[in-house]
Structure 1
């Protein structure tokens, strides 16, 4: 009788916990697919814009095409490595990696490529039991799951600005369908 009780307890526990773990693992799997495709699309956008248009701004107070690109890199690094991975944050004011400065188009694309690769590696190894852990996000409590979603939105927001800049320069952006 004791063995039946233990077996029933294990079965009940498994029926509750396994679906939760499967959902969390599916979230990471789905997120990685989206992030990998977002990475490919962003690189394609960056490669399509001519280097002599990288300083283009839609208005004086806007970020340039290059600044949007590097800002995406900084945000990917911060959200993943610092918020999700626990590494100390880079200081936007003093960090030179994600500043446009005198970087060439090729150098910027290389930095973005490396940053996404590091982020994809981190997310592949992410402990899904931390998805509900909360942290401070600009004074708001947000779960790590929400941090994943905020990062995806942020990439899309700035990439969208870059696509408009391409149109304003008479260029046709790469086709979006099938990338996300």
Structure 2
């Protein structure tokens, strides 16, 4: 009887890592779906604002609509490609890819769409065994799982500012899209 209990317990314990790995795969799969929905909604928001209002700032110290859009792209690139993917990080001070500069509305929207696609491609192939890897995040000890969640929060934060800019310009934002 003790042998049966021991063998059963051993079999059960050997399945725990497989169950955890499947849960991690589900987390990443759900995250990718959510991020793709976030992409679609952000693109609708970006399309809604007339190009002439892309420099609109809700307050003098705020980022403009365009700066919020490009900042989302920069942060998405940094969180996904550098923190999760291991590529050398860009620096905001010297970066030219995500600066508004003389980019048109169409160019900015295209860049954001491309950056989302690159992030989604990397995340679809993400090795879930790395989710608990730890890294320095502005002096805080965080896991790569945290980075997934921080990226989603960051996009939502800046998109929210863009929605306020639409409202302040008398534009009704696109209807909220669930699960993003």
Q: Provide the TM-score with structure 1 as the length reference.
A: 0.93
Q: CA–CA distance in 2 between the matches of 1:178 and 1:23?
A: 22
Q: Do 2:135 and 2:141's aligned partners in 1 also have CA atoms closer than 8 Å?
A: yes
2:37·2:177 contact (CA, 8 Å) conserved in 1?
no
Query: Any unmatched runs of 5+ in structure 1?
Result: none
The residue aligned with 1:49 is: 49
Name the structure 2 match of 1:80: 80
Q: Does 1:33 align with 2:33?
A: yes
Partner Cα separation in structure 2 for residue 147 and residue 17 of structure 1: 22
- Distance in 2 separating the partners of 1:9 and 1:114: 49
Give CA-to-partner distance per residue, 1:98-148, whole Å, 9 cap, x none: 000000000000000000000000000100000001000000000000000
Q: Distance in 2 between matches of 1:72 and 1:10?
A: 48
Whole-Å Cα distance in 2 between the matches of residues 128 and 113 of structure 1? 25
Matched, 1:66 2:66: yes
Structure 2: runs of 5+ lacking an equivalent: none
Residue 12 (str. 1) matches residue 5 (str. 2): no
1:15, distance to aligned residue in structure 2 (A) = 2.1
State the Cα distance separating 1:19 from its structure 2 match: 1.2
Alignment: residue pair count: 177
For 2:175 and 2:112, the matched residues in 1 are separated by 20
Distance of 1:36 and 1:92 partners within structure 2: 25
Query: What is the SS of the residue equivalent to 1:142?
Result: strand
Query: Which residue matches 2:153?
Result: 153
